[in-house]
Amino acid sequence: MTTETAVWGVGTSLFGKQPQLSAPELTWVAVLEAIDDAGLAGASAIDAVYAGTVFGDPGVAQRALQSIGVTSVPIITIENACASGTTAFHEARLAVESGRYERVLALGIETMTAVFDGAIAPIRSDAEGAQGFAMPSIYGMSATRYVHEFGVTSEQMALVSVKNHRHAVGNPRAQHSRTVTVEQVLASRMIADPLTLYQCCSIADAAAAAIIGPRRSPSHPRDVPIRSSALRSGKLWDQRSSKVWGWDIVAETAALAYEQAGIGPSDVDVFEVHDAFTIGEIVTTEALGLCELGGGGRLVESGHTSIGGPQPVNPSGGLLSRGHPLGATGLAQIAEIVWQLRGEAGARQVDDARVGVVETMGGGAAGVDGNGCVVAVLGRS
């Protein structure tokens, strides 16, 4: 018999380039907020920790958690590219569901300014990295194909950035919280044709956390049920796939999550998706089933994915505006959906949000369709 699970509490630090703050300092803010939000007496109530990080030092989670009293329990560190935080969430949920632990902390932490001056450098041991293919290059090629094959316009891609910057104005934790126009997006410096600077996410330093346990409702009405979570790694990406990189892994992972939750994409009220680049959100909304193949540009242009539209996407501002501290990103997405479903998202609140979906896809290994993808469904029936 499996245990129904819920998010008891969430917390995050601010997001941005914060070289003056160490990984432990960022972690303390996020974890203590999550513990308080969950109504726990203190850190000693936590039975286990799953921590996601990509560039963190060995032992970064233990080093960060010891000062707030999280010691002696199992602490498992996970690296799964951009999906590291949501992979930690997925594993924490399964640990509670199976009865292995009762109160589990899922943690994401990244201090990217300690490692990089700017964009993430290609990994030279990787076949594509050795050729200089950084992530902007890969997404730029996807964008070029979408322009050619489906007629996606530069203006439609720019609208993703405009929308998510507008949403972030209501998010006091976001790295970039000012509005931009289509003209400003297109006039910003070219990074990987046709993607300009404002169509690419920024590196950031941050931590995010969630406490997961058995469902306590109705005595704890702020608990948010976890209806499903699915995790897949990418299959071989070769001539057998007719889609751009990342499409298949998102679609297949989402199909599993929808099936487990007993819903379809039309049942979802709000999404937080991996928009590291504007074309990424366009491709992802298609793969999640919000529109047909090739229709993602028209979808954002229609206002469907804006706050006030039928299915808002990235009300937090997404990676484009909140920033992208790789290990912390997925749990920041979880936190946003929890706040939305509780009605606690303030100026960016989506009306009557009852079901939310988080999608995080991480990539970079040559030859496979993404290192990993997690899709989670949260909310009440």
Residues forming the active site: 82, 324
| Backbone φ, ψ for residue 200 (5° rounding) | -125, 140
Give the span between the Cα atoms of 237 and 235, in whole angstroms: 6
CB 113 within 8 A of CB 89: no
| Bridge pairing between strands 224-232 and 372-379 | antiparallel
The enclosing H or E element of 10 equals: strand 5-12
Start-to-end Cα distance in the chain:
21
How far does Cα 115 stand from its chain's mean position? 21
Position 33, amino acid: E
With tokens 């995080």, the residue in question is: 360
Position 331, amino acid: L
Residue (of 283, 318, 281, 313) closest to 202 by Cα position: 318
- Cis check for the bond before 218: say yes or no (omega within 30 of 0): yes
Give the span between the Cα atoms of 48 and 92, in whole angstroms: 8
With tokens 């409702």, the residue in question is: 217
Give the span between the Cα atoms of 190 and 367, in whole angstroms: 27
How far does Cα 5 stand from its chain's mean position? 20
CB 145 within 8 A of CB 194: no
CB 120 within 8 A of CB 203: yes
